[in-house]
Structure 1
Amino acid sequence: MDTPPEGAGEARDGVGSGHCVLAEGGVCIAQSVKIPREPKAGEFDKIIRRLLETSNARAVIIFANEDDIRRVLEAARKANQTGHFFWMGSDSWGSKIAPVLHLEEVAEGAVTILPKRMSVRGFDRYFSSRTLDNNRRNIWFAEFWEDNFHCKLSRHALKKGSHVKKCTNRERIGQDSAYEQEGKVQFVIDAVYAMGHALHAMHRDLCPGRVGLCPRMDPVDGTQLLKYIRNVNFSGIAGNPVTFNENGDAPGRYDIYQYQLRNDSAEYKVIGSWTDHLHLRIERMHWPGSGQQLPRSICSLPCQPGERKKTVKGMPCCWHCEPCTGYQYQVDRYTCKTCPYDMRPTENRTGCRPIPIIKLQWDSPWAVLPLFLAVVGIAATLFVVITFVRYNDTPIVKASGRELSYVLLAGIFLCYATTFLMIAEPDLGTCSLRRIFLGLGMSISYAALLTKTNRIYRIFEQGKRSVSAPRFISPASQLAITFSLISLQLLGICVWFVVDPSHSVVDFQDQRTLDPRFARGVLKCDISDLSLICLLGYSMLLMVTCTVYAIKTRGVPETFNEAKPIGFTMYTTCIVWLAFIPIFFGTSQSADKLYIQTTTLTVSVSLSASVSLGMLYMPKVYIILFHPEQNVPKRKRSLKAVVTAAAMSNKFTQKGNFRPNGEAKSELCENLEAPGNLQGPACVIQPAIARRIIKACHHNLPFFSIKPHNYVFIASEDEQGGGERKQREVGFAQEMGLGSFSQTSSYSIRRTRTPTPILGAATPGGPLNFQGTSSSFYSKTSPSLLQSTVGRERQI
């Protein structure tokens, strides 16, 4: 720091030259602070705070007058920084007592310089003899007298209550006050002699042989005089040669002092000198707190490993240490560089190391629940398959549609098996199988269910309009439709393999945490979230479509092709997948994304398969194993059917009477037999009506045998015997064309004690004659709805 004194360039020159010399010597200046000419209150406190910004730079070189030096020391003591700074003062500090008076501890260790000098004894004798009477020519002498003797020359200047006395003019310098010769007296004397020698040489050259000034020196040319001053060479008052270099500077000869405290006494001790080069005696130096050990004063501490230097502009030795952050490592002292994407910095950030790679382990807690569901589900599926194969020809297995049932079981099995593929270590084979089977199992399941519900829907919709059979309702047609739907999924997978071949990848982005210590690479298959949506999208479309058909067929009787169980299955499945979507995609930013999404997906697939298995197959298995009496042909049970005939235009005999409730009854055939009498008159039905009855029953009763032009109509009769009511089923007719019946034959598919066929005969274009037991055919309110009363009023 420096004080720019007005009218003098000492500080400015010292600072300027000091910067250059220090820079040449590799010494850096951490801060350069200027002391204002007229400092305000608190200005020196600000200076100390600024110096503390670079607290490791403890050496302070100060170019200032002794008053400013003292204020700086006072501010340092006020900031409780005694012993922190090491002061280095210019010759304005020198060996003076005034700057350090009562500040000895703060100034301890200060190194100052003073030009080499000797005391001029003649000046001491002269100055000590000066009084107010014999030194009136010096206008500042009176002020010096008051300050030196602590008195006032004027009585009016005295203040009441003050301890300042009036000067008596009998005081003597050196006797009544401390006196020390000013250190620059020698140089003032030499300067006066240098001026004299220069004028003498100039006069000799310009005014040879003349006394006094000649015209060439009147007036004196200052520029010319300066040249003569720089050329003087004489012996000074101390015996040293007085010369000047080309810059006008005298040779530097300095004594180096250190302000030391020893045994409660303070003194400036000479520790070296400078005469063309440095002579320093280190053993004489003493530093506060560390004795003779040299203190450290550096602009910046060396950076630690993993930190880079950020230099301060204009100060190459000063820098800020900035740590390499994130995934950066230290390349050199000044550079941090980011590690490759598959690596992370070492602990001290001096290099990079591979990021650990993780995958879902078989023993992971996240895999316990999916594996448990899969194992139990596969065992249950195999149990159902074995049961169905063993009881393959029983009515319950037949009524469930054996072909589609086995297809659905295959899809359920694949859904459970997918769990093992999702947890297995990703490689080329595993990733390929994931692409194939993740959506295939669900597609097979929902394609089979969709085919079933669509068949039921088409049968009942067709029955509302006509009794003609819908197309593609045979088992072969159902399998063809199912595999057509499945083939679309397989086609999409094949296209995917062609466009983007399967492979495993290590994703370093999913678990790239802010702290590289916790970064992990995730080994997984190259199936993005978008690809997963496309993969499962087709299965979801089949599921939604199947749900729509399940809603449309919810009102059919429960005995018809599992319409209601399929509906409940689809409703529950939709709920499962609606819960899956927010959990799966809502955790895309989680650090545990791999575990959460894999667990959620596998559990959802297993639950969907479990719903289908539990609602559609477990009730059947239960009946097969625990209630075999119910797994018998339908002929032993009451026969129920809804026969829908479309827009019957035929006319038939009606008895125009009404039921008690006002319902019209149209009797097509009367009950003409007596109990036990099997020989009754014929019942005549128009061929068109019979034809529609037969076809409607075939469409709606799954246990009818289905052959081209062969419709077996099963009727029922009551038989009284042994105190029990028995049922008989008899069949009639073989339709050989669309408009006539011929070649009547007896047909019975039940076991009875006395088979009694009902014979029916028809001629082309003529009526169909029935002969049989207690059977009456009538319609209720609408001629398009036919019902049969068998013993009790049972519906056919």
Structure 2
Amino acid sequence: KHLFPMWVNRMCWRLGDTALPESVCSVPCRAGERKKVVKGVPCCWHCERCEGYHYQAGEFTCQLCPYEQRPARNRTGCQPIPIIKLEWHSPWAAVPVLLALLGIVATSGVVITFVRYNDTPIVRASGREMSYVLLTGIFLCYAITFLMIATPTLVVCSLRRVFLGLGMCFSYAALLTKTNRIHRIFEQGKKSVAAPRFISPASQLAITFTLISVQLLGVFVWFAADPPHTVVDYGEQRTPDPDRARGVLKCDISDLSLICSLGYSILLMVTCTVYAIKTRGVPETFNEAKPIGFTMYTTCIIWLAFIPIFFGTAQSAERMYIQTTTLTVSLSLSASVSLGMLYMPKVYVIIFHPEQNVPKRKRSFKAIVTAAAMSGKLTQKGGDRPNGEAKTELCESMETNSECVRYHGDQQ
């Protein structure tokens, strides 16, 4: 009986291993693995790893982690999913912030120039009151970028709802009022020499703010029906690999709600474009008719490109970044188009060519009606003159304190 242990120790097993083999059917499972018993052999099993968002709940079971959690590294329990948001230092935020900052600086420069030269002919002829309304809208289009990137809170979410569509509404309500005014003047000119109603600066402001009030009313109804709050969306970046799963902190604004918020402004934009097309035949540069037209055509192209990009990325893991960047860049680009086409040429003349910022010869409404009827001939004659240009602008009559129209020829 004393020789048996010595004999075992002298035995050499496979690959030179002298250790005594374990007399078991299956080896113990590691952490994060459950035992899957072999059918008909209760003492034997296979080890099966808990996959996906499951963790090892017992020796023989895996269970799914709660929705806002993911398995720990060893899969013996669950831990909270990290929460992320769009950071200021993110590359997705860098481009929109840069565009917004440049736009705010440029808009501020235009406003300062217009205030400084408020009583000069160019500023007066462009419609001072409506210009300031439009510049306010342009400024808001740039400023909304910072609210869209800021950390979502109750205050930030509330401000997003108010200002998301308000900048566009200010801009296109003002432009729509301008183009509608031009259209009514020339349509009235075909019937009578009497000036149409509601073309004074006060009337134009009243019409513009009536259009803007519709947007604000819709926002207040939205507040009442669904008060703003923040949510953590775990489904947006719930990737197949739990280690890469993230919860997205954001305002509770659905894609449908966002489009509804922008929908009224887009409707104003489309209507303004229609009027810009209708007034494309008026005498050149009549109250910015042609620059407004080019502005609206370009803006429509920008927003037509925005829609497929915004909705085409709805299933992407980078959805939050792509959609926020696309929206803010589209707003900044549309504001830049309006600023560049409508105001930069005026600022250039005011600052670098003050000799051109002088009063022009006035004509009555009756005279401009005749000019409208002969616009085709004027255009043809203007093309025949070397470096000549036929121009008409709306102005405020100093003698009668009412709206008049002036026509001037500008030799360049």
TM-score by length of 2: 0.87
Distance 1:336 1:566, change over 3 A: same
Q: Which residue of 2 aligns with 1:421?
A: 147
Rounded Cα–Cα distance in structure 2 between residues aligned with 1:711 and 1:597? 45
Q: Which residue of 1 aligns with 2:255?
A: 529
How far the C-alpha of 1:598 sits from its partner, in A, is: 1.2
Runs of 4+ aligned structure 1 residues displaced above 6 Å come to 710-716
Rounded Cα–Cα distance in structure 2 between residues aligned with 1:438 and 1:465? 42
Distance 1:714 1:412, change over 3 A: closer
1:368 equivalent to 2:94? Answer yes
Rounded Cα–Cα distance in structure 2 between residues aligned with 1:715 and 1:575? 33
Give, as a single letter, the amino acid of the residue that structure 2 aligns with 1:702. C
For residues 632-651 of structure 1, what are the structure 2 equivalents within 5 Å?
Answer: 632-635=358-361, 642-644=368-370
How far the C-alpha of 1:423 sits from its partner, in A, is: 1.0
Q: Which residue of 2 aligns with 1:312?
A: 38
How far the C-alpha of 1:559 sits from its partner, in A, is: 3.8
Q: Select which of 106, 117, 120 maps to 1:391.
A: 117
Q: Select which of 333, 343, 361 maps to 1:617.
A: 343
CA shift digits 1:315-349 (9 cap, x unpaired)? 21122221111111111111111111111111110
Q: Which residue of 2 aligns with 1:402?
A: 128
Give, as a single letter, the amino acid of the residue that structure 1 aligns with 2:322. I
Q: Select which of 489, 495, 513 maps to 2:221.
A: 495
How far the C-alpha of 1:363 sits from its partner, in A, is: 1.3
Q: Select which of 13, 31, 45 maps to 1:289.
A: 13
Rounded Cα–Cα distance in structure 1 between residues aligned with 2:332 and 2:399? 37
1:702 equivalent to 2:395? Answer yes
CA shift digits 1:252-291 (9 cap, x unpaired)? xxxxxxxxxxxxxxxxxxx89xxxxxxx966555755178
Assess if the C-alpha contact under 8 Å between 2:394 and 2:404 holds in 1.
no
When structure 1 is superposed on structure 2, of 515-524 and 284-293 the one drifting more is 284-293
Partner SS, residue 702 of structure 1: strand
Q: Select which of 62, 65, 74 maps to 1:336.
A: 62
Rounded Cα–Cα distance in structure 1 between residues aligned with 2:407 and 2:43? 112
1:378 equivalent to 2:116? Answer no
Rounded Cα–Cα distance in structure 1 between residues aligned with 2:59 and 2:359? 92
Residue segments in structure 1 that go unaligned for 5+ positions in a row: 1-270, 273-279, 648-698, 717-792
Assess if the C-alpha contact under 8 Å between 2:395 and 2:406 holds in 1.
no
Q: Select which of 221, 237, 245 maps to 1:519.
A: 245
Q: Which residue of 2 aligns with 1:565?
A: 291
For residues 567-582 of structure 1, what are the structure 2 equivalents within 5 Å?
Answer: 567-582=293-308
Q: Which residue of 1 aligns with 2:377?
A: none
Rounded Cα–Cα distance in structure 1 between residues aligned with 2:345 and 2:372? 35
Rounded Cα–Cα distance in structure 2 between residues aligned with 1:405 and 1:448? 8
Rounded Cα–Cα distance in structure 2 between residues aligned with 1:355 and 1:428? 22
Distance 1:331 1:646, change over 3 A: closer
CA shift digits 1:479-515 (9 cap, x unpaired)? 1111111111111111111111111111111111111
1:352 equivalent to 2:78? Answer yes
Assess if the C-alpha contact under 8 Å between 2:127 and 2:395 holds in 1.
no
Rounded Cα–Cα distance in structure 2 between residues aligned with 1:711 and 1:374? 36
Assess if the C-alpha contact under 8 Å between 2:287 and 2:394 holds in 1.
no
Identity among equivalent positions (%) equals 73
**What RMSD over aligned residues (CA atoms) do the two structures have, in Å?**
3.1
Rounded Cα–Cα distance in structure 2 between residues aligned with 1:497 and 1:470? 39
Rounded Cα–Cα distance in structure 1 between residues aligned with 2:61 and 2:247? 27
When structure 1 is superposed on structure 2, of 362-371 and 417-426 the one drifting more is 362-371
Q: Which residue of 1 aligns with 2:189?
A: 463
Give, as a single letter, the amino acid of the residue that structure 2 aligns with 1:601. L
Residue segments in structure 2 that go unaligned for 5+ positions in a row: 374-391
Rounded Cα–Cα distance in structure 2 between residues aligned with 1:292 and 1:339? 44
1:507 equivalent to 2:200? Answer no
Partner SS, residue 561 of structure 1: helix
Q: Which residue of 2 aligns with 1:72?
A: none
How far the C-alpha of 1:420 sits from its partner, in A, is: 0.7
Rounded Cα–Cα distance in structure 1 between residues aligned with 2:281 and 2:368? 13
How far the C-alpha of 1:524 sits from its partner, in A, is: 1.1
1:605 equivalent to 2:298? Answer no
Give, as a single letter, the amino acid of the residue that structure 2 aligns with 1:324. C
Rounded Cα–Cα distance in structure 2 between residues aligned with 1:426 and 1:409? 27
Rg comparison, structure with higher value: 1
Partner SS, residue 48 of structure 2: strand
Distance 1:408 1:354, change over 3 A: same
Q: Which residue of 2 aligns with 1:454?
A: 180
Rounded Cα–Cα distance in structure 2 between residues aligned with 1:416 and 1:542? 19
Assess if the C-alpha contact under 8 Å between 2:125 and 2:394 holds in 1.
no
Assess if the C-alpha contact under 8 Å between 1:356 and 1:519 holds in 2.
yes
Q: Which residue of 2 aligns with 1:435?
A: 161
CA shift digits 1:585-637 (9 cap, x unpaired)? 21222222121111111111001101000100111111111111221111399
**Number of residue equivalences:** 388
Rounded Cα–Cα distance in structure 2 between residues aligned with 1:364 and 1:293? 58
Rounded Cα–Cα distance in structure 1 between residues aligned with 2:34 and 2:136? 64
Rounded Cα–Cα distance in structure 2 between residues aligned with 1:521 and 1:558? 55
Normalized per residue, the structure richer in helix is 2
Give, as a single letter, the amino acid of the residue that structure 1 aligns with 2:122. I
For residues 262-281 of structure 1, what are the structure 2 equivalents within 5 Å?
Answer: none
Q: Select which of 477, 484, 498 maps to 2:210.
A: 484
Rounded Cα–Cα distance in structure 1 between residues aligned with 2:341 and 2:66? 54
Rounded Cα–Cα distance in structure 2 between residues aligned with 1:461 and 1:417? 38
Distance 1:558 1:714, change over 3 A: closer
Q: Which residue of 2 aligns with 1:474?
A: 200
Distance 1:712 1:414, change over 3 A: closer
For residues 628-667 of structure 1, what are the structure 2 equivalents within 5 Å?
Answer: 628-635=354-361, 642-644=368-370
Distance 1:316 1:354, change over 3 A: same
Assess if the C-alpha contact under 8 Å between 1:641 and 1:701 holds in 2.
no
When structure 1 is superposed on structure 2, of 316-325 and 444-453 the one drifting more is 316-325
Give, as a single letter, the amino acid of the residue that structure 1 aligns with 2:24. I
